A and B are shown apart, each in its own frame.
Chain A
Amino acid sequence: MSNYALISIIICYLAILFCIAFFAEKNSKSKWVNNSFIYTLSLAVYCSAWTYYGSVGIAANSGISFLPIYLGPVIAAPLWIVVLRKVMRISKQHKISSIADFVSLRYGNNRFLGALITIICVFGTLPYISLQLKAISETFEIMIDETSYVSNSIFDDSTFYIAVLLAVFATFFGTQATDASEKHRGIVVSVAFESILKLLFFLIIGIYVTYYLFDGTADIYNKISMTPDFESLTKISGLEAGFDWFFMMMISFIVIFLLPRQFQVSVLENNREKHLKQAIWMFPLYLLLFNVFVIFIAWGGKLTFGNVVNAEYFTLLLPLQNNNVFLALLVFLGGFSAVISMVVVSTLALSTMVSNNLIIPYGFLDKFIKGQPDKNANYIKNIRRISIFCIIITAYVFYINFSIELSLYSIGLISFVVISQLAPSFFIGLFWNRGSSKASIIGIIVGFIITVYTLLLPFTIEAFTGINDFTDHGLFNISALKPYALFGIDFLSPPAHAFFWSMSANVMCYLIFSLTSKGNYRERNYAEMFVDSRNYSSLQDSALVWKGEAYVKDIKNVLNKFLGEDRAQRALNLFFMKYKIPPNTQMADARLINFSEKLLTGSIGSASAKILIASVVKEEQVSLVEVLKILEESKETIASNKALREKSQQLTSLALKLKEANEELISKDKQKDEFLDTVAHELKTPVTGIRAATELLMDDDEMPSEIKEQFLNNMLNDSDRLSRLINNILDFEKLSRGRNQLNLKQNGIKNTVKQAIIGVQQLAINKGVTIINDNLVDFRFSYDEDRILQVLTNLLSNALKFTEPNVGKIIVEYKMINNFVEFYVIDNGKGISEEDFEHIFDKFYQSKNQNTVKPEGSGLGLAICKQILEQHNGKIWAKKGNKKGATFVFMLPFE
């Protein structure tokens, strides 16, 4: 294929990507652009040219050790729900625009820390980008026919132009908005598209090699197993290699969170937390698919070419060998996609960091304070644009000078180890509020120095000079200082070895300095917010502790400079509305300071925002004690709110109870009134009879004698009835006041029951109701016979009252149970209704279900019974659950 044809294909392909990105930017709210598939596919930016070409190289030369780089992320994926979600929430709240911003904010907006992290990221990413350029350049050369073609100057080198094109693409879609925390939907969607392509093309070549060039997996396996070094390719050899695997997986576990491009797509570009739920299984699935054919392509290539060509490009060389240029072109485009997505996202992330955490806070702030808003926005954008170009150009230079001789795999691992140095500050700081900025800075620097000594330095020396003295003999010929075998640990591969030492030292420094030095108030404040992000999210703006003097006017001026007057005014109006602060307030409070910092963070990074706001406010130092006090207070506010809520609930229930009690009282009162009415009625009835009869007898001399006798007889009955009623009332009153002394004597119960039955027998006979008592035994014990007789009579009368004439039946029984004599009065009458059960023993209670409107009893009968039994230390109740009729039970202690 000719040079120009390939370049035109590349340009066409870039044009397609440009259209996709453009479409996504225009439809940034659409469902096509915002879904969990796009999110997961954008995470696949992890699979760069290193994966696409490098894995095959490793598989061919050292067997399955390419795998740990993918196992780490697979292990990490389920943890995203915990870790990544927290990071997302904090980032959204604080308008974080890069990982440097995130970590430095955690440590109190430390400007130096932000810059340090930026530098680490640049160191970690530049070689990585150059690796991608190397892959492009080499695959380009494989693709074109003129194999002898060698570029003699930069301007002849097509890689340079491709790099420039990538820079243009990244610039165009990466710097649309001044606020870097805004989403870049165009870039994300094009990355997702590229992720589909690279996976698809890789699978195609995998299938082509395995099933077209060979007869399936078994065929390849059988053939490769004949070769002499087969053993070493398929085994993890011994415990030492096991350690190697372990550290490799740790490295990849860490970088899936921390690589600037991963942080960009997984946290900053995420717009729905729920997309994570799908991503935690889809992303591992993607990695799995990507790795299925790696080993077979590697073996197939090895069987075809032996060890003469670079195994990393088997995927291209195999189809070309078989004159399948189209397939090779597809593979090339897949690799190109992997490169573009990695380079664009990485440079975007890095340029934001470089501008917000390095250039602006260390040089341009003064200029911005004086400048005009529209000019400022342009300045910021331009700084980022220039950064993008600089990064790519630097990567290109790096590639020209360093990478040509090195494998993709080794450069990738160096990047990973460097980036890993952020891990202690990031992970521990997220869950441990003691971690301080000093500890973080020292940990990162020490870890980085060790990485340089054990990995970067020997690597570059070897690459440049080709002399191995330093590696073989150590610094000053001290064997304990051998860079690849520090203090005698010589069984690990260089990257794992470097990771082991640098990470150990980093974590140690972090822990020791965190425990021995306390951060200032600002740090403790942010630490508390990060670690406890869930609880404080409700407090948000006011969670920041701040003390000092600031004017709204000054802050507004600063905001105007960066946001423009309209946006600043709008933001402030929203703020005032949210907290119900009058818009003409002069003095700014902690919330406004915090709010303004957040507003600016998106544009110029958190460190610069802090410096800018600090320049117009007079901030006072707040002692740690005060910070803790304020934090404690806000916690207390939450606690006391909770307590208040509980109190109010208690009050509500108390009020309810009072209401119930009151209603009960009213009902009692009403009942008492009704009872008095009833008593009066009952008393008046016999009096009326007596009065009328007397009047007639007095006035009528001619009254026949038999009528006269009848009237006199009636008067006698009425008088008896009157006195009975009076006795009942007095009785009840006496009993209820407990004044009544029981007349306790040894009595036979059989006789008492017999007397009671005799007392009502006549009434029963009249009504046609039978009363049955079959008891033969007699118990003699101490009780007040008159009173128990009264109880029995009352129960029997009630039973008589509520049974039907002629079919009614009443059973009286008693038996001894556990030192008590229990009595049963059972009838087959209409029974007791559910609502009556609770009240029938209350005084004045009259059942609503009586078959007469005028209550027949005084309303005192059962109440009197209850009192009598209580004074005997006994009990009376009505049995529930009867199908028909009522059963009254009472028991007396047998002594």
Chain B
Amino acid sequence: MKKKILIVDDEPNIVMTLEYTFKKQDFEVFIARDGSEALHILESNFPDIVLLDIMMPDVDGYQTLKYIKSKESLKQTKVVFLTAKNKASDIEKGLKLGADKYLTKPFSIKKIVSEVLELLN
């Protein structure tokens, strides 16, 4: 069975590269351009992993993470922050909220893939 990944980011160019990458890795890929879209998708699909940007319109990454953590049905879902915010305080905050990984932009595709696979195994 295919692993499910949800990519949440408001930058179409970045989303496009990630989508291409994970489809090639044989993932079922879901795309959300902001938090509220992500919540919508999370309600009906239960992805194994979420790549989550923080600075987004309306519902931001932090709120999305809180939602995931509050749902029993999403207990198995891993969350990776993928953001330009790279201050130590930001990273600390993200991990404290319960993210499994905190990766910063710009990123290496290879690294993202290996981190995601490692988390899922």
Known: A689-B14, A692-B17, A696-B20. A684 touches B105 (CB 8 A): yes
Tell me, in angstroms, the Cα distance from A692 to B105 when the chains sit together: 10
Please tell me if the beta carbons of B17 and A687 are within 8 angstroms of each other in the complex.
Answer: no
Please tell me if the beta carbons of B57 and A853 are within 8 angstroms of each other in the complex.
Answer: yes
Please tell me if the beta carbons of A695 and B109 are within 8 angstroms of each other in the complex.
Answer: yes
Please tell me if the beta carbons of B20 and A681 are within 8 angstroms of each other in the complex.
Answer: no
Which of B10, B106, B110 has the most CB atoms of chain A within a 10 A radius of its CB? B106
Tell me, in angstroms, the Cα distance from A853 to B57 when the chains sit together: 5
Please tell me if the beta carbons of B56 and A688 are within 8 angstroms of each other in the complex.
Answer: no
Question: In this assembly, does B16 line the interface, its C-beta being within 8 Å of a C-beta of chain A?
Answer: yes
Question: In this assembly, does B44 line the interface, its C-beta being within 8 Å of a C-beta of chain A?
Answer: no
Tell me, in angstroms, the Cα distance from A827 to B45 when the chains sit together: 41
Question: In this assembly, does B13 line the interface, its C-beta being within 8 Å of a C-beta of chain A?
Answer: yes
Please tell me if the beta carbons of A688 and B107 are within 8 angstroms of each other in the complex.
Answer: yes
**Which residues of the other chain, A, contact B57 by a CB distance below 8 angstroms?**
851-854
Give the Cβ gap from B17 to chain A, nearest Cβ, in Å. 4
Contact with A along B41-74 (1 / 0, CB 8 A): 0000000000000011110100000000000000
Question: In this assembly, does A637 line the interface, its C-beta being within 8 Å of a C-beta of chain B?
Answer: no
**Which residues of the other chain, A, contact B85 by a CB distance below 8 angstroms?**
677, 681
Please tell me if the beta carbons of B108 and A853 are within 8 angstroms of each other in the complex.
Answer: no
Tell me, in angstroms, the Cα distance from A680 to B85 when the chains sit together: 9
Give the Cβ gap from A604 to chain B, nearest Cβ, in Å. 84
Tell me, in angstroms, the Cα distance from A853 to B83 when the chains sit together: 14
Give the Cβ gap from B114 to chain A, nearest Cβ, in Å. 13
Q: Contacting B56 at CB < 8 Å: which of A677, A680, A853? A: A853
What is the size, in residues, of chain B's interface with A at 8 Å between Cβ atoms?
23
Which of A686, A695, A699 has the most CB atoms of chain B within a 10 A radius of its CB? A695
Please tell me if the beta carbons of A684 and B106 are within 8 angstroms of each other in the complex.
Answer: yes
Question: In this assembly, does A714 line the interface, its C-beta being within 8 Å of a C-beta of chain B?
Answer: yes
Please tell me if the beta carbons of A693 and B84 are within 8 angstroms of each other in the complex.
Answer: no
Could you tell me which residues of chain B, from 84 to 111, have a CB within 8 Å of some CB in chain A?
A: 84-85, 105-110
Question: In this assembly, does B39 line the interface, its C-beta being within 8 Å of a C-beta of chain A?
Answer: no
Q: Contacting B17 at CB < 8 Å: which of A686, A693, A851, A853? A: A693
Question: In this assembly, does B32 line the interface, its C-beta being within 8 Å of a C-beta of chain A?
Answer: no
**Which residues of the other chain, B, contact A714 by a CB distance below 8 angstroms?**
13, 16
Known: A851-B57, A853-B58. A711 touches B105 (CB 8 A): no
Give the Cβ gap from A684 to chain B, nearest Cβ, in Å. 4
Tell me, in angstroms, the Cα distance from A687 to B105 when the chains sit together: 9
Question: In this assembly, does A718 line the interface, its C-beta being within 8 Å of a C-beta of chain B?
Answer: yes
Tell me, in angstroms, the Cα distance from A699 to B109 when the chains sit together: 10
Give the Cβ gap from B51 to chain A, nearest Cβ, in Å. 12
Could you tell me which residues of chain B, from 3 to 61, have a CB within 8 Å of some CB in chain A?
A: 10-11, 13-14, 16-18, 20-21, 24, 55-58, 60
Which of B21, B55, B58 has the most CB atoms of chain A within a 10 A radius of its CB? B55
Known: A853-B58, A854-B57. A692 touches B107 (CB 8 A): yes
Please tell me if the beta carbons of B56 and A854 are within 8 angstroms of each other in the complex.
Answer: yes
Question: In this assembly, does A817 line the interface, its C-beta being within 8 Å of a C-beta of chain B?
Answer: no
**Which residues of the other chain, A, contact B24 by a CB distance below 8 angstroms?**
700
Tell me, in angstroms, the Cα distance from A686 to B14 when the chains sit together: 8
Q: Contacting B10 at CB < 8 Å: which of A711, A718, A854? A: A854
Which of A688, A690, A691, A693 has the most CB atoms of chain B within a 10 A radius of its CB? A688
How many residue pairs, one in A and one in B, have C-beta atoms under 8 Å apart?
67
Give the Cβ gap from B92 to chain A, nearest Cβ, in Å. 16
Tell me, in angstroms, the Cα distance from A689 to B58 when the chains sit together: 23
Tell me, in angstroms, the Cα distance from A318 to B17 when the chains sit together: 132
Please tell me if the beta carbons of A696 and B17 are within 8 angstroms of each other in the complex.
Answer: yes
What is the size, in residues, of chain A's interface with B at 8 Å between Cβ atoms?
27
Shortest Cβ distance from A856 into B: residue: B57
Q: Contacting A685 at CB < 8 Å: which of B14, B18, B20, B21? A: B14
Please tell me if the beta carbons of B108 and A695 are within 8 angstroms of each other in the complex.
Answer: yes
Tell me, in angstroms, the Cα distance from A170 to B105 when the chains sit together: 108
**Which residues of the other chain, B, contact A677 by a CB distance below 8 angstroms?**
85
Interface of A, secondary structure class, is helix
Give the Cβ gap from A97 to chain B, nearest Cβ, in Å. 82
Please tell me if the beta carbons of A685 and B58 are within 8 angstroms of each other in the complex.
Answer: no
**Which residues of the other chain, A, contact B21 by a CB distance below 8 angstroms?**
696
Tell me, in angstroms, the Cα distance from A718 to B56 when the chains sit together: 19
Please tell me if the beta carbons of A681 and B109 are within 8 angstroms of each other in the complex.
Answer: no
**Which residues of the other chain, B, contact A696 by a CB distance below 8 angstroms?**
17, 20-21, 109
Give the Cβ gap from A711 to chain B, nearest Cβ, in Å. 7
Known: A695-B108, A854-B10. A684 touches B84 (CB 8 A): yes
Q: Contacting A689 at CB < 8 Å: which of B13, B60, B108, B110? A: B13
Please tell me if the beta carbons of B11 and A685 are within 8 angstroms of each other in the complex.
Answer: yes
Shortest Cβ distance from B13 into A: residue: A689
Give the Cβ gap from A549 to chain B, nearest Cβ, in Å. 75
Which of A680, A690, A696 has the most CB atoms of chain B within a 10 A radius of its CB? A696
Please tell me if the beta carbons of A707 and B105 are within 8 angstroms of each other in the complex.
Answer: no
Tell me, in angstroms, the Cα distance from A853 to B58 when the chains sit together: 6
Please tell me if the beta carbons of A689 and B107 are within 8 angstroms of each other in the complex.
Answer: no
Tell me, in angstroms, the Cα distance from A695 to B56 when the chains sit together: 25
Give the Cβ gap from A707 to chain B, nearest Cβ, in Å. 7
Give the Cβ gap from B31 to chain A, nearest Cβ, in Å. 15
Please tell me if the beta carbons of A711 and B17 are within 8 angstroms of each other in the complex.
Answer: yes
Please tell me if the beta carbons of A688 and B14 are within 8 angstroms of each other in the complex.
Answer: yes
Q: Contacting B84 at CB < 8 Å: which of A688, A718, A853? A: A688
Tell me, in angstroms, the Cα distance from A73 to B109 when the chains sit together: 110
Q: Contacting A687 at CB < 8 Å: which of B10, B55, B106? A: B106
Q: Contacting B55 at CB < 8 Å: which of A707, A711, A851, A853? A: A853
Question: In this assembly, does A710 line the interface, its C-beta being within 8 Å of a C-beta of chain B?
Answer: yes
Could you tell me which residues of chain A, from 825 to 854, have a CB within 8 Å of some CB in chain B?
A: 851-854
Please tell me if the beta carbons of B13 and A718 are within 8 angstroms of each other in the complex.
Answer: yes
**Which residues of the other chain, B, contact A686 by a CB distance below 8 angstroms?**
13
Please tell me if the beta carbons of A680 and B13 are within 8 angstroms of each other in the complex.
Answer: no
Tell me, in angstroms, the Cα distance from A718 to B16 when the chains sit together: 13
Please tell me if the beta carbons of A685 and B16 are within 8 angstroms of each other in the complex.
Answer: no
Contact with B along A691-731 (1 / 0, CB 8 A): 11101100110000001001100100110000000000000
Please tell me if the beta carbons of A685 and B108 are within 8 angstroms of each other in the complex.
Answer: no
Shortest Cβ distance from B87 into A: residue: A677
Tell me, in angstroms, the Cα distance from A853 to B35 when the chains sit together: 11
Tell me, in angstroms, the Cα distance from A680 to B20 when the chains sit together: 26
Shortest Cβ distance from B10 into A: residue: A854
Give the Cβ gap from B16 to chain A, nearest Cβ, in Å. 7
Tell me, in angstroms, the Cα distance from A133 to B57 when the chains sit together: 108
Please tell me if the beta carbons of B17 and A685 are within 8 angstroms of each other in the complex.
Answer: no
Known: A688-B105, A688-B106, A854-B55. A680 touches B14 (CB 8 A): no
**Which residues of the other chain, B, contact A693 by a CB distance below 8 angstroms?**
13, 17
Tell me, in angstroms, the Cα distance from A572 to B97 when the chains sit together: 74
Tell me, in angstroms, the Cα distance from A696 to B84 when the chains sit together: 20
Shortest Cβ distance from B57 into A: residue: A852
Tell me, in angstroms, the Cα distance from A853 to B34 when the chains sit together: 11
**Which residues of the other chain, B, contact A690 by a CB distance below 8 angstroms?**
106
Give the Cβ gap from B38 to chain A, nearest Cβ, in Å. 14
**Which residues of the other chain, A, contact B108 by a CB distance below 8 angstroms?**
691, 695
Tell me, in angstroms, the Cα distance from A707 to B19 when the chains sit together: 12
**Which residues of the other chain, B, contact A691 by a CB distance below 8 angstroms?**
106-108
**Which residues of the other chain, A, contact B84 by a CB distance below 8 angstroms?**
680-681, 684-685, 688
Tell me, in angstroms, the Cα distance from A291 to B61 when the chains sit together: 98
Please tell me if the beta carbons of A692 and B14 are within 8 angstroms of each other in the complex.
Answer: yes
Tell me, in angstroms, the Cα distance from A696 to B56 when the chains sit together: 25
Which of B11, B57, B85, B109 has the most CB atoms of chain A within a 10 A radius of its CB? B109
Shortest Cβ distance from A702 into B: residue: B24
Show 26 A/B contacts (Cβ-Cβ < 8 Å), sorted by A: A684-B106, A685-B11, A685-B84, A685-B105, A687-B106, A688-B84, A688-B107, A689-B14, A690-B106, A691-B106, A692-B17, A693-B13, A693-B17, A695-B109, A696-B21, A696-B109, A700-B24, A707-B20, A710-B16, A714-B16, A717-B13, A851-B57, A852-B58, A853-B55, A853-B58, A854-B57
- 5 new A-B contacts, CB < 8 A, other than A689-B11, A711-B17, A852-B58, are A684-B84, A688-B14, A696-B21, A699-B109, A853-B58
Query: What residues make up the interface of A, taking CB atoms closer than 8 Å to B?
Result: 677, 680-681, 684-693, 695-696, 699-700, 707, 710-711, 714, 717-718, 851-854
5 pairs of A and B residues whose beta carbons are closest in the complex? A689-B13, A692-B17, A688-B106, A852-B57, A854-B55
